[in-house]
């Protein structure tokens, strides 16, 4: 039962940037019946329905997907909202934390979620159900962060914000019960791009920025989970006029500059693949082979560069999937990856492709 969290979460939301319970609750009555559960998971319904009343509440859902259901207990957690990590009182530079209430007794590794939305939409609240699920076992602390969108600030404001958030969390590790030596990041789409750059972009002051009160603290992370994020703006995105990717191309241009010339000038430095070196964080990348917004080649580009540099990299091709997918098997592998690099639990992680129905 412990590993039911990631299979269920993956099946409804982790690669679709949504609220997993709400995605299943089709009639919005605050509870799930057997018919609302995906067919492959229906045999597990009695395990999710802890009190046997024929419906699953959100509390039961989160308990079971965290591996704590069916007789277990969800760890007692505290939600700290709207923490200013940059000191500017900008709502786009705030984060939320989900922390175990017993954090003073034991430090936990940290998982930081970075939302997607084409760098022009999305908010930290999009990741709340994901980080609640990650922390529900009591093994992790977690954060979900805002960063300035491209309408407000052009590149490199977004990576400056993400790095400032990591520095803040590391500097406040004792206060929040965080194991400062074990911080991992998870991001989807635009968030996948930003977490990838957190993993590789550690050798240039231009990417680091000086935001916040902890400019001297390291912003390095110990592992990266990248869901279908752009990794190389010079191939397949900026130069690509393909109609299927025109929307993505416009979002990239809006992020990187006031016009195409300025965007092209910033494209290399903004690309995670440009900064790959042998001391980068281990990567886990999942990407749909039929993604028409961010081409699958973006995943192979970063994976091949990391492997060539001698960095641990796992690439899982989601066969037949587009920009968003669901797979219990994928998220079993992700949990193994996080536990290996943040909790020191050895594991063998398959990179076999996963076929999406």
Residue ranges in 43-99 assigned as alpha helix (H):
45-48, 58-65
pLDDT tens, position by position, 240-283: 545 555 667 789 989 998 888 888 899 999 999 999 999 999 99
36 torsion bin: left (phi>0), alpha (psi -120 to 50), beta (else): alpha
pLDDT of residue 275: 97
55 torsion bin: left (phi>0), alpha (psi -120 to 50), beta (else): beta
Q: Name the average pLDDT for the chain.
A: 86
Q: Supply φ then ψ for residue 281, to 5 degrees.
A: -70, 150
> 118 CB contacts (<8 Å, ≥6 apart)?
189, 190, 248, 251
Checking if the pLDDT of 62 tops 80, the result is no
**CATH architecture observed for domain 2-65:** Orthogonal Bundle (1.10)
Span 115-141, average pLDDT:
90
Checking if the pLDDT of 9 tops 70, the result is no
E runs forming strands in 219-326: 223-227, 283-288, 313-319
User: What is the H or E stretch that residue 163 is in?
Assistant: helix 157-171
Give dist(CA 313, CA 305) in Å, integer: 9
| 57-61, 173-177, 256-260: least confident range | 57-61
Residue 138 CA, chain-centre distance (Å), reads 19
Confidence of residue 77 (pLDDT cuts 50, 70, 90): confident
pLDDT of residue 236: 60
Quickly tell me which residue has 């997918």 as its tokens: 325
- Bridge partner residues of 283 (DSSP): 224, 313
User: What is the H or E stretch that residue 82 is in?
Assistant: strand 77-84
Q: Give the strand pairing for 223-227 and 178-188.
A: parallel
Cα within 13 Å of Cα(97), Cβ side:
24
Give dist(CA 180, CA 172) in Å, integer: 9
Residue 61 CA, chain-centre distance (Å), reads 21
What is the distance in angstroms between the CA of the first residue and the CA of the last residue of the chain?
24
> 232 CB contacts (<8 Å, ≥6 apart)?
271, 272, 273, 274, 298, 301, 302
Give dist(CA 141, CA 169) in Å, integer: 11
The ranges assigned to domains in the chain are 2-65, 77-355
pLDDT tens, position by position, 281-325: 999 999 999 999 999 999 999 999 999 999 999 999 999 999 988
Give dist(CA 287, CA 319) in Å, integer: 9
Q: In this structure, which topology does domain 77-355 adopt according to CATH?
A: Rossmann fold (3.40.50)
Checking if the pLDDT of 71 tops 60, the result is no
């Amino acid at each position: 039962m412990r590993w039911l969290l990631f299979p269920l979460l993956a099946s409804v939301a982790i690669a679709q940037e949504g609220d997993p319970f709400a995605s299943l609750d089709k009639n919005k009555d605050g509870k799930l019946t057997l018919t609302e559960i995906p067919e492959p998971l229906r045999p597990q319904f009695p395990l999710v329905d802890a009190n046997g009343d024929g419906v699953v509440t959100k509390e039961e859902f989160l308990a079971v997907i965290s591996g704590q259901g069916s007789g277990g207990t969800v760890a007692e957690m505290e939600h700290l909202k709207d923490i200013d990590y940059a000191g500017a009182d900008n709502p786009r530079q705030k984060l939320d934390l989900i922390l175990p209430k017993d954090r003073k007794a034991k430090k936990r590794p940290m998982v930081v979620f970075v939302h997607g939305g084409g760098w022009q939409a999305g908010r930290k609240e999009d990741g709340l159900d994901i980080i609640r699920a990650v922390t529900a076992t009591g093994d992790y602390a977690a954060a979900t962060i805002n960063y300035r969108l491209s309408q407000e600030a052009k590149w490199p404001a977004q990576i400056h914000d993400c790095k400032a958030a990591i520095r803040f969390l590391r500097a406040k590790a004792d206060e929040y019960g965080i194991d400062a030596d074990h911080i991992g990041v998870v991001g989807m789409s635009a968030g996948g791009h930003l977490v990838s750059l957190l993993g590789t972009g550690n050798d240039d002051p231009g990417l680091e920025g000086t935001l916040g009160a902890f400019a001297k603290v390291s912003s390095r992370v110990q592992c990266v989970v990248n869901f279908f994020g752009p990794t190389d703006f010079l191939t397949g995105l900026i130069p690509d006029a393909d109609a299927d990717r025109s929307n993505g191309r416009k979002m990239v241009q809006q992020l990187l500059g006031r016009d195409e010339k300025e965007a092209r000038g910033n494209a290399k430095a903004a690309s995670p693949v440009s900064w790959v070196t042998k001391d980068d964080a281990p990567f886990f990348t999942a990407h749909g082979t039929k993604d028409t917004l961010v081409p699958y080649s973006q995943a192979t580009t970063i994976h091949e560069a990391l492997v060539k540099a001698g960095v641990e990299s796992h690439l899982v091709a989601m066969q037949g999937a587009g920009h968003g997918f669901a797979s219990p098997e994928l998220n079993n592998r992700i949990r193994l990856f996080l536990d290996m690099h943040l909790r020191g639990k050895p594991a063998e992680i398959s990179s076999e492709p996963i076929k999406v129905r």
